[in-house]
Chains A and B, each alone.
Chain A
Amino acid sequence: MASQILPLELIDKCIGSRIWVIMKSDTEFTGTLLGFDDYVNMVLEDVTEFDYTGTNTKRKRILLNGNNVCMLVPGGSGPVTEASS
């Protein structure tokens, strides 16, 4: 049982790589994870925001509030490519 990986350790391993963030609401983000804190507030780079309307918004760098985050998918490329594959 020595080799259990804690959830936040998993996120720590994702720093520097692409991540897919799914919010409690209909919004989703993909971007490169630059860092995060204990609340899972995250700094993301080269971000695409996926709206429930299907609108994609590009942002260079954002600080995402962890309060409304539901799920993180390491290496996830977002809802669009997922749907088209």
Chain B
Amino acid sequence: MENGAAREGGDPSGFLSEIIGAPVVVKLNSGVIYKGELQSVDGYMNIALEKTEEFVDGVKRRAYGDAFIRGNNVMYIAAED
């Protein structure tokens, strides 16, 4: 950022390509949280997750091997630290 160049992963598409394959937290507008490995995302923020765990009010409810989340429900995608 010092030389005025955009930082790696700075803009949304750069960030997404950087976190593909990484463990992520996806929060929906309903408040439900999905944790899993990010398999892919598209421009609608449709998301494919692997090894998915579902949390409702912080309590684990279900697990899915593979899950597709429709993008309109997504509030944010966080890279798990």
Contacts and interface: CB of A to CB of B under 8 A. Distances in A.
Contact of B16 (A15, A34, A36, A63): A63
A1 B15 CA distance: 37
Contact of A34 (B9, B13, B29, B81): B9
A82 to B, nearest CB: 22
A6 B74 CA distance: 28
B7 A34 contact: yes
Interface of A: 15-16, 23, 25, 27, 34-37, 41-43, 47, 59-65, 67-68
Please provide the 8 A-B residue pairs with the shortest distance between their CB atoms, ordered closest to farther. A35-B11, A35-B10, A60-B81, A62-B78, A59-B78, A43-B15, A34-B10, A62-B76
Given A25-B29, A43-B11, A63-B77, 4 more contacts: A36-B12, A63-B16, A63-B76, A65-B71
